[in-house]
């Protein structure tokens, strides 16, 4: 069903609210804007599928109400971008949510499984990819575009039913809920502009003083891009930003000598120079910590980490929980140094592997090879 009026939307949302779960997906564009532009919302219950046109409907409050209804689980696949665009467009953060990509990693599937692979694994259906490069802002949509959009939720609600049942059988519903919790926090989708410098390419090559300048300049760029609703790279590229923080121009003339600043107005240059000056004058004890890579561990520590990772792989194979979902090598190295601070000491991770790691590090268990496979001694 294609929904293009408030009345149609209201009717669908009222019917959908009667179900315990509804599948949701979005189509959006963000190539020319800071915030993603919502172009389409797909929704499905076990009874019907709907393609909602937000460009044709002035009042989307029924959809906002459904997405914030605490009695209805909103099912997504790889939810982060969908959550961001819906939050910006509707002013509500969907909750409660269930992400099938995360959940599948608890059931023997690889981390970050694609939607098509998920549908094939849990529904036995192979989906086409013919509209993957569609400009979803153009109207009217063709029948094939609408059908393609519907497929994104038609099978998602079915896959959810299978996944939820298998999780319940294994006693892992609460494990998935633990992984969902950070994704329902507004801070996940509204990052602090003063932390934007951490995402700059090659930022780890900078000194602490340069990081202080980067923090101020990147925050200015972020606010400027958001205010004008343009991509941050249109304001200033990462390459130009890195050049500015390393050269630290003293006046507008020095600033303008750096290629890639031509598009900035005199007012922009003045504001960027003020940001650079703030970073330059920041007290040493308030500068960001250096983001250089962790000091290389000793050969002995590397060997211990290898043994821990072998145990992790064994637990992953036996449990069907993806290894990278449990922990990576950095987390294992952190566990060696400060186990009390590690996520492996909390929740489902400790239940699954934490006590085994403690026993391994204490020498109470070991690993051996039997019939070509690793076994716990």
Can you give the length of the chain in residues? 377
199 vs 203: CA distance, rounded Å: 8
**Which segments within the chain are labelled E, that is strand?**
2-3, 21-29, 37-44, 49-52, 73-76, 97-99, 367-370, 373-376
Cis peptide before 96 (omega within 30 of 0): yes
Cis peptide before 180 (omega within 30 of 0): no
Give the DSSP per-residue string, 232-279: HHHH--HHHHHHHHHH--SSHHHHHTSTT-TTS-HHHHHHHHHHHHHH
The residue annotated as part of the active site, out of 25, 53, 131, 151, is 25
The residue annotated as part of the active site, out of 115, 148, 160, 197, is 148
Judge whether 62 and 166 are in contact, CB under 8 Å. Answer: no
The residue annotated as part of the active site, out of 34, 53, 82, 160, is 82
Exposed/middle/buried for 347, CB within 10 Å: 0-12, 13-18, 19+?
Answer: middle
247 vs 267: CA distance, rounded Å: 20
The residue annotated as part of the active site, out of 53, 151, 152, 222, is 152
327 vs 223: CA distance, rounded Å: 35
Whether 152 is a known active-site residue: answer yes
Whether 254 is a known active-site residue: answer no
302 vs 329: CA distance, rounded Å: 10
Residue 48 tokens read as 């019907």
Whether 169 is a known active-site residue: answer no
Whether 82 is a known active-site residue: answer yes
Give the burial string for 223-253 (b: 16+ CB within 10 Å, else e).
bbbeeeeeebeebbbbebbbbbbeeebeeee
CB count in 10 Å sphere of residue 332: 22
Specify which residues 23 forms β-bridges with.
44, 75
Q: Which residue has the tokens 């009345």?
A: 7
The catalytic residue positions are 25, 27, 82, 148, 152
């Amino acid at each position: 069903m294609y929904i293009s009026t408030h009345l149609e939307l209201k009717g669908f949302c009222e019917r959908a609210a009667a179900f315990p779960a509804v599948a949701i997906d979005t189509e959006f564009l963000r190539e020319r804007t800071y915030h993603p532009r919502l172009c389409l919302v797909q929704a499905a219950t076990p009874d019907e599928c709907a393609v909602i046109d937000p460009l044709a409907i002035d009042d989307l409050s029924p959809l906002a109400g459904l997405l914030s209804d605490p009695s209805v689980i909103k099912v997504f696949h790889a939810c982060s971008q969908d959550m961001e665009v819906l939050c910006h467009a509707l002013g509500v953060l969907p909750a409660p949510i269930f992400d099938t990509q995360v959940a599948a990693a608890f059931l023997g599937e690889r981390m970050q499984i694609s939607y098509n692979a998920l549908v094939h694994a849990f529904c036995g259906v192979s989906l086409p990819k013919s509209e993957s490069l569609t400009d979803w802002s153009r109207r009217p949509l063709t029948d094939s575009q609408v059908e393609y959009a519907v497929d994104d939720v038609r099978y998602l609600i079915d896959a959810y039913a299978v996944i939820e049942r298998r999780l319940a059988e294994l006693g892992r519903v609460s494990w998935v809920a633990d992984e969902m919790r950070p994704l329902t926090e507004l801070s996940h989708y509204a990052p602090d502009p003063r932390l934007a410098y951490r995402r700059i390419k090659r930022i780890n090559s900078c000194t602490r003083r340069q990081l202080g300048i980067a923090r101020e300049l990147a925050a200015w760029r972020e606010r400027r891009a958001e205010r004008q609703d343009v991509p941050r790279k249109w304001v200033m590229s990462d390459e130009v930003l890195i050049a500015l923080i390393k050269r630290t121009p003293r006046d507008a003339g020095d600033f303008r000598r750096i290629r890639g600043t031509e598009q900035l107005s005199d007012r922009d240059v003045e504001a960027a120079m003020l940001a650079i000056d703030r970073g330059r004058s920041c007290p040493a004890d308030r500068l960001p910590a250096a983001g250089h890579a962790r000091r290389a561990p000793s050969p002995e520590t590397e060997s211990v980490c290898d043994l821990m990772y072998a145990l992790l792989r064994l637990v992953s194979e036996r449990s069907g929980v993806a290894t990278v979902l449990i922990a990576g090598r950095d987390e294992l190295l952190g566990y060696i140094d400060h186990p009390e601070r590690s996520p492996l000491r909390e929740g489902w991770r400790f239940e699954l592997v934490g006590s085994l790691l403690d026993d391994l590090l204490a020498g109470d268990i070991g690993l051996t090879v039997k019939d070509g496979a690793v076994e716990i001694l």
